[in-house]
Structure 1
């Protein structure tokens, strides 16, 4: 046996080196195959099972919806700071208003606020004339606690207002005709302790003060009006039995630090300056330089898949890499810039008195509260802070303190009158201007 082993070793050593390497490798591989014993599964043997219990919050974190809080109302410290103008000229609680403009339909107006298409269809069925909204008409509505449409009011003209109330079988329409006389009233005054108090002393109602602020909100900051500043307002009021039933702002002039600001109402219900240029400045549709994929849509009726309760998603989530520059969509003032619970690093910008935008889950803030920003300015870098399971930007748009769909909302745009509309408007301005004197 030893002679055989020596003969094999001698023969192996006499082989060229490449052959020795190849033969050694084959030998090792053969031995490995010989000793390998694969595991054979026997179904009759008891398997080893490990049960892992997940909390409800952990279950939610595995769902696609978990990119944004789905069972948590906005925290109080995430609310937009209020001021004197909000406290004293706010609309009736729960009432939302909208002035019809070019291209609007009943569906496009209500759907951007998240009102169910079923309600809109039933509403249109109750009055076919609702399919023919006209520029300048005003819609206002209230919602139930569940977010369903409760009542809609349509001011068709100065004379007629139609109201639609929810019933068990849809919506019931009622009509009210006003028979009063419309009279123009010129009111003027000087600011004392504040604009609101001074305007009311001059004879304006809370609703009329609100209409003045809304008309001028994108031109100037009413909080900067101080003692000695002047104002003049022309209201058209419907008088019935000696009382004003309703009113409409026709023109306003404000003098701040010796500089005059004007706004005049046109036939389309919007306000323009003395030359017919629109007062609203255009907004960007998206808060980034390019459009990113929408990972979660606006849904005021979103259900929590675990609890089954309504947990509204009041904005849109854009999936984007961390560090993406976040832009202000319009001119405004930063009212919030801080870290805030589930929202993470969070910025809120107020654009006049009507519009507010909010940006959440940011990585870095580039602005401070009270800072003025222009459309397109960088306000933050996107991130993954707060209650978030992946890098994204949560973006919200609020109109009159009501969340709307940022992708479909009718946002301000720079515009002006032209042609016959401008000619008629300038003739109207010429008639109204003398009624806005301070003396």
Structure 2
């Protein structure tokens, strides 16, 4: 080897000086290109993974799986992942990180918790250790608390007004504790007049934070609380548990709100849902998918997803659908556009608020077709899909948020539109007849 190097060196030194200069320059240029070239033709940014596919040019299933895999944003650049909130979304003191749910028809512990990304192993562990959790009843309440990594820390099950079971994570499992309330329940009527915001006016009338949230939830599909006028009236009938002179908990029975010359009502049924005076559903129906055609899921919802680019654990708060650039994106339900702009990691995106509990987001869009403040109907075109922002290929990132918490769009329990029937409706109408005369303004 040394002999070979010496031969090359001798041959180089015997060359004329102009030839030596030219050969040295070519060597330096070749080395510079070798160092620079991998950066310019990065696999992430190159045309092989970020090419623009005209609409209809090829089926979505032909897109490589990695071609629609978004690059998660760093924690410092996470603002685009937080939905807009205002005073109507005010959380009760001590509620941070707690999510509540009212059990309805067809619910199981697994179907409820897994739509919020809670690990199925925790659900199975709870169900095996505490078999009574397999017998959830319609109208019962459950709530849970997650840690910063999305792991279940506490589950509370309100079996009745007087009995609550709590399951706390401890030593690789869960420990149960039972609390029995010994207070007395009685109905309370509260009335008030809108003066400023509804939240401030309701608090002045004597409603607690949870009671205000219940009123907003009950009437969210019938009116926009932000557009109430000075002098609008409201009457709230609630059942409160009093213990040692304090209200420990409450349950909304019915509410009446007069805005202008219009009265709107909502009453709670035995299933925990709210209906109008005739037992008809109040919610507006949602479509399951934000496109006419159902496209392949290229990246699923996961609160603890391994980022394929950075190798870090980061939440993926929605579902990615692989689709050609230019595919029409549809609003999944009636609502108001609250954001329509370009974000750093999300690219062009649209956020729509549906009532007060629900919000949907559509990211990496090519073209925006709606503006903030615009009212949209279910099925309206709001954008064209694209490949903008931190994206490695054409796709739509779609999110659903319920009570400011991201849920799995593929399994989330969407608002029900059907009304009550049969005996359930007859029992409900009897409740309405009893409550209606009490909902009078002072």
Q: Same fold (TM over 0.5)?
A: yes
Q: Which residue of 2 aligns with 1:376?
A: 379
2: CA distance, partners of 1:70 / 1:197: 39
Q: Does 1:85 align with 2:69?
A: no
2: CA distance, partners of 1:299 / 1:88: 25
Q: Which residue of 2 aligns with 1:107?
A: 110
1:111 Cα shift?
0.4
Matches within 5 A, 1:222-237: 222-237=225-240
2:172 aligns with one of 169, 173, 177: 169
Matches within 5 A, 1:92-131: 92-131=95-134
Secondary structure of the corresponding residue to residue 122 of structure 1 = helix
2: CA distance, partners of 1:79 / 1:164: 29
- TM-score for both structures, normalised by structure 2: 0.84
Deviates more, 1:353-362 or 1:193-202: 193-202
Q: Which residue of 1 aligns with 2:26?
A: none
Does the 8 Å CA contact 1:344/1:387 hold for their aligned counterparts? yes
1: CA distance, partners of 2:292 / 2:229: 39
1:198 Cα shift?
1.4
Q: Which residue of 2 aligns with 1:69?
A: 71
Q: Return closer, same or farther for 1:338/1:295 CA change in 2, 3 Å cut-off.
A: same
1:78 Cα shift?
5.5
2:431 aligns with one of 420, 423, 428: 428
1:169 Cα shift?
3.2
Q: Does 1:324 align with 2:327?
A: yes
Secondary structure of the corresponding residue to residue 281 of structure 1 = coil
Matches within 5 A, 1:1-400: 58=42, 64=66, 67-73=69-75, 75-76=78-79, 79-87=82-90, 92-305=95-308, 307-400=310-403
Higher normalized contact order (CA 8 Å, seq sep 6+, divided by chain length): 2
- TM-score for both structures, normalised by structure 1: 0.85
Does the 8 Å CA contact 2:67/2:393 hold for their aligned counterparts? no
Q: Residue by residue, what CA displacement relative to the aligned partner does 1:148-202 show, whole Å, maximum 9, x if unpaired?
A: 1000111111111110000013000101111111100010011112211111111
Structure 1 residue ranges without an equivalent (≥5): 1-49
Secondary structure of the corresponding residue to residue 252 of structure 1 = strand
1:146 Cα shift?
1.4
2: CA distance, partners of 1:142 / 1:177: 21
Deviates more, 1:169-178 or 1:66-75: 66-75
Q: Return closer, same or farther for 1:244/1:261 CA change in 2, 3 Å cut-off.
A: same
Q: Return closer, same or farther for 1:119/1:52 CA change in 2, 3 Å cut-off.
A: farther
Q: Residue by residue, what CA displacement relative to the aligned partner does 1:44-96 show, whole Å, maximum 9, x if unpaired?
A: xxxxxx688867x9566678286212353453256433322124668821111
Q: Which residue of 1 aligns with 2:419?
A: 416
Higher gyration radius (CA)? 1
Q: Residue by residue, what CA displacement relative to the aligned partner does 1:210-265 show, whole Å, maximum 9, x if unpaired?
A: 11111111111111112110000001001112211110000000001120010000
Q: Return closer, same or farther for 1:181/1:135 CA change in 2, 3 Å cut-off.
A: same
Structure 2 residue ranges without an equivalent (≥5): 1-33, 50-64
Does the 8 Å CA contact 2:399/2:409 hold for their aligned counterparts? yes
RMSD over equivalenced CA pairs, Å: 2.3
